[in-house]
Amino acid sequence: MLRDAVKAGIMYDQSLDADIRSLRSTILFGLKGISAYGHQARFINYNSNLVDNFYFLGLEATTNDALTVEDLIKITMRTGEMSVEVMKTLDDANTTTYSHPSPQKVNVNIKKGPFIIISGHDLRDLEMLLEQTEGKGINIYTHGEMLPAHGYPSLNKYKHLVGNFGTAWQNQQKEFDNIPGCILMTTNCLMKPRDTYKDRIFTTNVVGWDGVRHVNLKEDGTKDFSEIINKSLELGGYKEDVEEKEILVGFGHNSTLSRAGAIVEAVKEGKLRHFFLIGGCDGAKPGRNYYTEFAEKIPQDCVILTLACGKYRFNNLDFGTVAGLPRLLDIGQCNDAYSAVKIATTLADAFETDVNSLPLTIVLSWYEQKAVADLLALLSLGIKDMYIGPSLPAFLSPNVLQYLVDIFNITPISTADEDLRNSLKQVN
């Protein structure tokens, strides 16, 4: 792959202008994130014609030599608009099909008995698995980005959805090692399975690995999970319960905005000083402990909103409450950046201002194409003063980065203390 990259990778054409290459790559990575969200929505029969048409326009822009840097900047912003559109479509799909999330406590320790861990993003896979395991004595645990599923009433009603297993995707090889149960990977975030659990991990949808059993979609739109069910019963599961430890999920836009009046009043009375949105993709690269340290140092009169797998850096900590609200509000999956935007814009309306004038700081952790789609969505809405890290995307040329700094005041993270101090200056 490394040899072929020289001939076919984004750097193969050395004569191509660096800024053109940078913007083409940004558009392409954004399209990948958008198509991942679009695939999730389409799986439960929702789509946007606007987004479907844009795939062609966006891809064409990445090969059209007649387009200037200015042209590609416009298309990059349009990619952000389509990211907002596809996240709205997916939000409509999930909340219409499974009802709006509500706050729920989720056990993060193991229970006695056979079990299946389901990871990824696709709620329809979880629903089918819950239906097919009901009454069979099998515990179902979410993993990774599937954690927010506990907030949806149509899924939470299943009593054998007993909790969440493990932490973020990059820890799976260690956490899945020799476990006495099965794993179902529904979308991306699969790492090379170790031999110690390769016989008990299954894939479905667009994710797969050589030598790993795959569950296919049948013509009627359903899946047969009997093989993984039988394997989990054969393995037998855990022998004893571990004392429960609970975390809170389910603070989507509908649930959070039902408290909008109390939030606005708390801000006006000085009880609630600032909001921090700490979200994005996680990874194993050094420097990501910044997000844990940042969250821990946020003052007690502030609220933390979080989404995507970056929350596993701190979502097991007890942040307490402020003005009658939990200080940590888990909004959901990476695509629930739409929820965060909806919360922010509604609060801005309540304060008769704009999002950039709210006592709000956005701190993003960077990793893969969905993070690109999320960032472009926020930029297309004109949101400024965001911090991103732990390192900048490799495909941003110096000029494109400078454009983002000049127009949107994007700032690379520094230290938790310095960034926190600068964030709170606007409200002092």
Rounded to an integer, what distance in angstroms lies between the CA atom of residue 30 and that of residue 370?
A: 7
> What is residue 367's predicted lDDT score, i.e. its pLDDT?
67
223 is known to lie in a ligand binding site: no
131 is known to lie in a ligand binding site: no
Helix (H) or strand (E) holding 306: strand 302-307
Listed in sequence order, the residues at least 6 apart from 288 whose beta carbon sits closer than 8 Å to its beta carbon are 282, 313, 365, 390
Q: What six digits make up the tokens of 228? A: 């993984």
- Least confidently predicted of 52-56, 283-287, 295-299, 411-415: 283-287
Q: Enumerate helices (H) and strands (E) in the chain, giving the number of each.
A: 15, 16
DSSP output for 36-99: HHHHHHHHTT---HHHHHHHHHHHHHTT-TT--HHHHHHHHHHHHHHHHHHHHHHHHHHHHHH-
Residue 86 has pLDDT above 50, yes or no: yes
Distances (CA, A) of 428 to 178, 274, 348, 423: 52, 10, 19, 10
Name the percent of the chain lying above pLDDT 90: 86
Sheet holding 201-204, edge to edge: 161-164, 139-143, 115-119, 182-185, 201-204, 213-215
Whether the bond into 390 is cis, omega within 30 of 0: yes
Q: What six digits make up the tokens of 262? A: 């109390």
Rounded to an integer, what distance in angstroms lies between the CA atom of residue 231 and that of residue 198?
A: 12
Q: Is 255 helix (H, G, I), strand (E, B) or coil?
A: helix
302 is known to lie in a ligand binding site: no
The letter for the amino acid at 159 is: K
Report residue 182's pLDDT band, with 50, 70 and 90 as the boundaries: very high
Rounded to an integer, what distance in angstroms lies between the CA atom of residue 375 and that of residue 419?
A: 19
> What is residue 265's predicted lDDT score, i.e. its pLDDT?
94
368 is known to lie in a ligand binding site: yes
Rounded to an integer, what distance in angstroms lies between the CA atom of residue 326 and that of residue 303?
A: 8
Listed in sequence order, the residues at least 6 apart from 384 whose beta carbon sits closer than 8 Å to its beta carbon are 356, 408, 409
- Please report where in the chains the tokens 């076919």 appear, as a residue: 8
Rounded to an integer, what distance in angstroms lies between the CA atom of residue 34 and that of residue 373?
A: 6
**Domains of the chain: residue spans and CATH:** 2-98 (1.20.1270.20), 104-235 (3.40.50.2030), 248-425 (3.40.50.2030)
388-405 confidence digits (pLDDT tens): 988 877 788 999 999 999
Q: What six digits make up the tokens of 171? A: 């820890």
Mean pLDDT for the stretch of residues 291-308: 96
> What is residue 45's predicted lDDT score, i.e. its pLDDT?
96
**Given CA atoms 396, 23, 285, 364 in this order, what sign does their dihedral have?**
positive
The whole-model pTM stands at 0.94
Rounded to an integer, what distance in angstroms lies between the CA atom of residue 418 and that of residue 426?
A: 14
182 is known to lie in a ligand binding site: no
Q: How many CB atoms lie within 10 A of CB 13?
A: 10
Residue 427 has pLDDT above 80, yes or no: no
Residue 40 has pLDDT above 70, yes or no: yes
Report residue 426's pLDDT band, with 50, 70 and 90 as the boundaries: low
The candidate with the shortest Cα–Cα distance to 92, out of 336, 355, 374, is: 336
281 is known to lie in a ligand binding site: yes
Residue 286 has pLDDT above 70, yes or no: yes
> What is residue 428's predicted lDDT score, i.e. its pLDDT?
47
Q: Is 1 helix (H, G, I), strand (E, B) or coil?
A: coil
Q: What six digits make up the tokens of 90? A: 């997916």
Helices of type H across 213-299: 226-235, 253-257, 260-268, 289-297
145 is known to lie in a ligand binding site: yes
Rounded to an integer, what distance in angstroms lies between the CA atom of residue 111 and that of residue 241?
A: 4
> What is residue 414's predicted lDDT score, i.e. its pLDDT?
94
Mean pLDDT for the stretch of residues 56-73: 96
